[in-house]
Amino acid sequence: MTNKITSILILFVLAGYAQSTDSQIKTYLNTLNSKDFSGTVLVAHNDKIIEKHAYGYSSIEYNVKNKIDTKFNIASITKMFTAVAILQLYEQGKIKLNVPIGNYLPDYPNKLVRDSVTVHQLLTHTSGLNNFYVTNLDKIQNGRYHEISDFVPLFVNDTLLSKPGTTYDYSGTGFVILGLIIEKVSGENYYDYIRDHILKPAQMFETTELEIDSIVENKASGYTSLFGQNKTLKKNDYYLTKASPAGFYYSTIEDLFNFSKALRNFKFLKKETTNLMFGPKVKGYNTQLGYGIDVDNRYNQTILGHSGGWYGIHCELMDFMEDNYTVVILSNIDDGGENGASKVADYFKKLLAHKTSE
């Protein structure tokens, strides 16, 4: 009888805590100033949406406000799609994680990469490959990339930064190569594979790759402050390309919530494979990394997810695993780490995970 009473009391305490937390979240989002944040925010608890809000403008020059279903460029959150696709093919026995990529791309032009880099290393940013979006930004011609193979000349002859398997170096290049492997092994175009095996099963009907000159209704334009350096914003079109396996899909807060829910509830992958994806493999710049996912253990609970940051883009997908909260933040303005999407993300880390410092 005593144990039963104790259990009931614990349930009441937890319910009261959740109610209090939800109330704090509601108050915060209702008072968040559009001058401080441009974008959308979704919060879910136990896989049920409790708050959805939009702030600021999707087009500053035309005075068009962001809406709940506005499409935002999600930058590197795209890498999670690529990782799931690779692990689906791994589950099917079509890919091994610890063999050279030459097993799947025998004609890849760079012999050193072909013979020494593994899928595991590509997924964990330990391949030694660079991030061509940064190192070769001056060589990128925005409108020339329609297929995944079109990106390859931008990096194929680059030298490795380190011996494969020895050092963490964040690599967009590595994820484009993963996209080539997906195409080769599945026999499908990368974009078609993602649509058929990830977006449709998760009911992500607003998520898509877009040509750089696409005219799409209800899509947010991006505005860059050069990561907080400039007070005057500029359009970020110059810095964008069509989506690749490394970044730049467009999505909405509800679609990314659907992705999170499908991933955590084993809709994409079996439980064993999902746990393999979520398991910490290497130490990144700030967090541990699983396969294509950040595993942040710095606070009082694990935060799984990924960020997306680029000129005119700052997005966060965060799953607070112990308390079962999901937070999705999409912004069309970059920041220097102390305002905008960074400030909003820090609020939730402090509230839900008791973040005190980096």
DSSP 299-332: SSS-EEEEEEEETTEEEEEEEETTTTEEEEEEES
Q: Classify residue 17: in a domain, yes or no.
A: no
Is the model's pLDDT at 112 over the cut of 80? yes
Is the model's pLDDT at 20 over the cut of 80? yes
Model confidence at 355, pLDDT cuts 50, 70, 90, reads confident
Is the model's pLDDT at 211 over the cut of 80? yes
Determine the average pLDDT of the residues in 209-215. 93
Is the model's pLDDT at 196 over the cut of 50? yes
Determine the average pLDDT of the residues in 281-308. 96
Q: Classify residue 63: in a domain, yes or no.
A: yes
Task: Please give the share of the chain, as a percent, with pLDDT higher than 70.
Answer: 94
* The pLDDT value given to residue 3: 55
Is the model's pLDDT at 88 over the cut of 80? yes
Say if residues 43 and 49 touch (Cβ distance below 8 Å). Answer: yes
Report the 10 Å Cβ neighbour count for 171: 26
* The pLDDT value given to residue 106: 98
Total structural domains within the chain: 1
Flag the least confident range among 72-76, 138-142, 151-155, 191-195: 138-142
Q: Classify residue 19: in a domain, yes or no.
A: no
Residue 335 structural domain: 27-353
Q: Classify residue 12: in a domain, yes or no.
A: no
Is the model's pLDDT at 48 over the cut of 60? yes
Model confidence at 109, pLDDT cuts 50, 70, 90, reads very high
Helix (H) or strand (E) holding 132, with range, is: helix 132-135
Spatial distance between the Cα atoms of 77 and 103, rounded to a whole number of angstroms: 27
Name the average pLDDT for the chain: 94
* The pLDDT value given to residue 16: 52
Spatial distance between the Cα atoms of 167 and 284, rounded to a whole number of angstroms: 9
Is the model's pLDDT at 78 over the cut of 50? yes
Spatial distance between the Cα atoms of 314 and 344, rounded to a whole number of angstroms: 11
Is the model's pLDDT at 11 over the cut of 50? no
Q: How far from 55 is each of 38, 43, 113, CA to CA, in Å?
A: 5, 15, 45
Indicate the pTM of the whole model: 0.94
Say if residues 119 and 181 touch (Cβ distance below 8 Å). Answer: yes
Say if residues 172 and 132 touch (Cβ distance below 8 Å). Answer: yes
**CATH number assigned to the domain comprising residue 83:** 3.40.710.10
Q: Classify residue 1: in a domain, yes or no.
A: no
SS3 231: coil
Report the 10 Å Cβ neighbour count for 271: 9
Q: Classify residue 10: in a domain, yes or no.
A: no
Determine the average pLDDT of the residues in 90-109. 98
Percent helix, strand and coil across the chain, each to the nearest 5: 40, 20, 40
Spatial distance between the Cα atoms of 330 and 222, rounded to a whole number of angstroms: 11
Name the residue with tokens 């810095």.
239
Determine the average pLDDT of the residues in 229-245. 96
Spatial distance between the Cα atoms of 208 and 205, rounded to a whole number of angstroms: 8
* The pLDDT value given to residue 8: 42
Q: Would you say how long the chain is, in residues?
A: 358
Q: Classify residue 126: in a domain, yes or no.
A: yes
* The pLDDT value given to residue 195: 98
Model confidence at 228, pLDDT cuts 50, 70, 90, reads very high
Q: Classify residue 225: in a domain, yes or no.
A: yes
Helix (H) or strand (E) holding 29, with range, is: helix 2-31
Radius of gyration of the chain (CA): 21
Say if residues 294 and 278 touch (Cβ distance below 8 Å). Answer: no
